């Protein structure tokens, strides 16, 4: 049963991808964690070279941020043609990279694979050129701009599907944390949401900076500071490398215990309600000439299709705070 209200017509356009039914969403974040707080382009070039030799790599995008422990996380967000090629590279390529970088930085990855029934994508612009949008044609999106639209776009989530298997969320002590590969719980939910403003007009850029961006960053801070209450296990506010038309300037990648937990924040918490209201007001104000890219990918991980590993990283890195 869909959440879309009868006779509802969206107040502004949105786009998604014309995807084949057999497509899988296969993505991993692979990162170097620099304790100095500064990025090291030479070390990242070694990661880039290792990825360039990988079979089945579609592309990667570089983004980074300084985490609350003042470490710089230099991240390659990599997309793959299939799960097997990603796993093959993670097994070999990352082990080699860890040897090369040992003593200079930490290395971590967070990886997932989800069938078409378990993910959705959305964009404010048909010219989106990031993530899966780089590889498939866009089409007009019917289900958007109402509460519950995200769930309506994920086939397996209909009728309250994809419930949480992670019932209790408790921080692990550093003793209980693992430096080995961690299997992610069934139905853990990842969202990658991006913002691109480098090609907006000065008026639209000013509107975004003054009215929408502060509310967005406040929402990310709430998730970061309240993981138990929000059931958001990890959230990163990143700055992207080489923004351009259709590509992000900034983005957030977050992991929630389940799609329901993401929805609870989206639908019920004041910080996201403020984001949603400001985004809708922006779209209505600037449509049909809106050039601000607001886009996302949401994927729910089936059993056995998600994993993470953290080598020589501080104990508050990513999912290792809660999963072991």
What was the pLDDT predicted at 141?
A: 96
Instruction: Quote the Cα angle for 12-296-17, to 5°.
Output: 70
What was the pLDDT predicted at 324?
A: 80
Name which of 185, 152, 132 is nearest 297 in CA terms.
132
Is the pLDDT score of 44 beyond 80?
yes
> Which residue(s) pair with 61 in the sheet?
77
What was the pLDDT predicted at 112?
A: 98
Is the pLDDT score of 145 beyond 90?
no
pLDDT band at 280 (very low <50, low <70, confident <90, very high): confident
Is the pLDDT score of 168 beyond 90?
no
Span 282-287, average pLDDT: 89
What was the pLDDT predicted at 179?
A: 79
- The 3-state DSSP composition of the chain as helix, strand, coil percent (nearest 5) reads 35, 30, 40
Q: What is the DSSP string of 190-227?
A: EEEEEEE-TTS-HHHHHHIIIIIHHHHHHHHHHHHH-H
Is the pLDDT score of 174 beyond 90?
no
Is the pLDDT score of 7 beyond 90?
no
Rounded-to-integer distance, Cα 319 and Cα 77, Å = 16
Per-residue pLDDT tens for 221-270? 999 999 999 999 999 999 999 899 999 999 999 999 999 999 999 999 99
Is the pLDDT score of 102 beyond 80?
no
Rounded-to-integer distance, Cα 309 and Cα 109, Å = 5
Rounded-to-integer distance, Cα 131 and Cα 117, Å = 18
Span 114-124, average pLDDT: 97
Span 112-136, average pLDDT: 97
What was the pLDDT predicted at 98?
A: 78
What was the pLDDT predicted at 262?
A: 97
What was the pLDDT predicted at 235?
A: 98
Ramachandran sector of residue 142 (left: φ over 0; alpha: ψ -120 to 50; beta: rest): alpha
What was the pLDDT predicted at 77?
A: 98
Span 88-92, average pLDDT: 92
What was the pLDDT predicted at 87?
A: 97
Place of tokens 């983005």: 251
Mean of pLDDT over the chain: 94
Is the pLDDT score of 94 beyond 80?
no
Q: What is the DSSP string of 122-144?
A: EES-TT--SGGGGTS-EEE-SS-
Assign a CATH topology to domain 15-22+114-321. Answer: Alpha-Beta Plaits (3.30.70)
Is the pLDDT score of 175 beyond 80?
no
Q: What percent of the chain has pLDDT over 90?
A: 82
- Least confident range of 11-15, 125-129, 295-299: 11-15
DSSP state of 318: G
Per-residue pLDDT tens for 185-212? 999 999 999 999 999 999 999 999 999 9
């Amino acid at each position: 049963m869909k959440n879309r209200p009868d006779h509802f017509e969206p107040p502004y356009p949105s786009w998604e991808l014309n995807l084949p039914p057999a497509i899988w969403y296969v993505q991993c974040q692979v990162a170097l964690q620099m304790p100095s707080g500064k990025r090291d382009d030479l070390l990242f070039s070694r990661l880039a070279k290792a990825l360039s030799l990988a079979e089945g790599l579609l592309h990667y995008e570089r983004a980074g941020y300084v985490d609350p422990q003042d470490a710089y996380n230099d991240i390659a967000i990599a997309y793959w043609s299939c799960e097997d090629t990603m796993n093959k590279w993670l097994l070999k390529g990352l082990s080699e990279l860890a040897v090369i970088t040992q003593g200079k930085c930490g290395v971590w990855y967070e990886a997932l694979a989800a069938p078409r029934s378990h993910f959705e994508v959305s964009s404010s612009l048909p010219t989106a050129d990031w993530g899966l949008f780089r590889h498939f044609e866009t089409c007009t999106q019917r289900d958007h701009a109402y509460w519950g639209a995200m769930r309506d776009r994920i086939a397996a989530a209909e009728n309250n599907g994809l419930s949480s298997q992670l019932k209790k969320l408790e921080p692990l002590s550093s003793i209980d944390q693992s430096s080995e590969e961690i299997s992610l719980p069934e139905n853990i939910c990842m969202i990658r949401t991006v913002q691109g403003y480098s090609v907006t007009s000065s008026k639209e850029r000013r509107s975004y900076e003054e009215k929408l961006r502060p509310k967005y960053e406040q929402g990310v801070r709430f998730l970061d500071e309240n993981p138990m209450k929000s059931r958001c296990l990890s959230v990163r506010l990143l700055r992207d490398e080489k923004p351009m038309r259709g590509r992000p300037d900034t983005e957030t990648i977050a992991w929630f215990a389940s799609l329901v937990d993401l929805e609870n924040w989206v639908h019920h918490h004041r910080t996201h309600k403020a984001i949603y209201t400001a985004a809708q007001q922006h779209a209505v104000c600037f449509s049909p000439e809106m050039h601000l890219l607001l886009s996302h990918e949401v994927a729910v991980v089936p059993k056995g299709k998600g994993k993470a590993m953290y080598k020589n990283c501080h104990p508050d890195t990513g999912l290792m705070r809660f999963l072991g």
